[in-house]
Amino acid sequence: MPDPFEVLLTDEEIEEQMAMSKRHRLMDYLREEMMPTVFCEGCGCGTVLNGYAHAMDEMGIRPEDLISVTGIGCSSWIPSPYLKSDTLHTTHGRAIAFATGVKVMQPDKHVVVIAGDGDLAGIGGNHLIHAARRNIGISVFLINNFIYGMTGGQVSPTTPIGVRTTTTPYENVEHSMNIAEVVAAAGANYVARWTTYHVFPLMESMQNAMKKDGFSFIEIYTQCPTSYGRRVGLRKGDEHLKYFKENSVRMEKAAGMSEEELEGKFVIGKLIERDREEFTVSLRNLNDRVKRGEFR
């Protein structure tokens, strides 16, 4: 009869097993060895990473069926290096060009681009508009922290008018870009806008975007206490979240408000959903017709 008091595991082994049993299920999607992240205290990038991993988990996407593509900037670090799946960390402003190549060659994979306002609306703006027009089946999550965060706070296309940045030392005199409306007008199949305060609708929206055929886009208003918040009196992450909470207006309510009433407000929700044929499907159909000799 086995001795019930026989010590089978060392203390270290027991501790290791207990730690394993307490391991969070999202660790299936995250590179534990890279934690904690390099994001500053109060940064919204961690919230987006959390939401993205939750979305994958809830959808049951296997890591091998997802390819994340990023550009350059703090927000481009959200999937790379923290996500445990294939990621392409590309050059500044060119993530969508790389993602387009991936989707054409691997149309069955979920291809998701995550990058900043500077990257996607500034230097990469042309790629964004044409990917939306082409309606290629990739999802783009634009992390809009209103600034070039990583490089210390230069003005970006989404910086509000009147804000002082390192490249607008008196104040910004340019009007900011409504990038979600631009993408909707360009022809995307799904466009939505949320903030890092609205985590649950954001997670749901990420899933809807990834399920949607064709080009899908979510603009995510995010706090950057280090390079932006401190310039507008929101020095801490939680102050900025409260600001998002108090100044956000649902799309449906905003429809009945005047331009003056909407001044300085964050209009959140779904802008558009439609069902134009996805680009790689059109491309494959055309290839089939060429092979059948229809154009001879």
Ligand X SMILES: Cc1ncc(C[n+]2csc(CCOP(=O)(O)OP(=O)(O)O)c2C)c(N)n1
Residues at the contact surface with ligand SF4, assessed by CB under 6 A: 39-40, 43, 45, 74, 145, 149-150, 224-227
Q: Judged by CB under 6 A, which stretch of 48-56, 115-123, 255-263, 273-281 contacts ligand X?
A: 115-123
Count of residues that interact with ligand X, criterion CB under 6 A: 18
Q: Contact between 148 and ligand X (CB under 6 A)? A: yes
Element (H, E) at 151: none
Q: Compute the C-alpha angle 207/40/196, nearest 5°.
A: 30
Site string for ligand X, 151-190 (x = CB under 6 A): x----x----------------------------------
Q: Contact between 145 and Mg ion (CB under 5 A)? A: yes
State the minimum distance, in angstroms, from the CB of residue 38 to ligand SF4. 7
Which amino acid, 240? Answer: H
Neighbours of 199 (CB within 10 A): 16
Q: Contact between 68 and ligand X (CB under 6 A)? A: no
Q: Contact between 157 and Mg ion (CB under 5 A)? A: no
Residue from 51, 122, 124, 149 in contact with Mg ion (CB under 5 A): 149
Closer Cβ to Mg ion, 145 or 176, answer by number: 145
Query: In Å, what is the CA distance from 232 to each residue of 12, 125, 165, 178, 258?
Result: 50, 25, 10, 20, 25
Q: Judged by CB under 6 A, which stretch of 25-33, 146-154, 164-172, 236-244 contacts ligand X?
A: 146-154
Listed as own residue / partner, the contacts of 84-92 with beta carbons closer than 8 Å and 24 or more positions apart are: 84/28, 84/29, 84/30, 84/31, 85/29, 92/118, 92/119, 92/123, 92/124
Q: Judged by CB under 5 A, which stretch of 7-15, 26-34, 53-61, 145-153 contacts Mg ion?
A: 145-153
Contacts of 231 (CB under 8 A, 6+ apart): 147, 153, 163, 164, 165
DSSP bridge partners of 87: 68
Tell me the pairing of strands 190-195 and 266-273: antiparallel
Query: Which of ligand SF4, Mg ion, ligand X, none interacts with 165 (beta carbon under 5 to 8 A by kind)?
Result: none
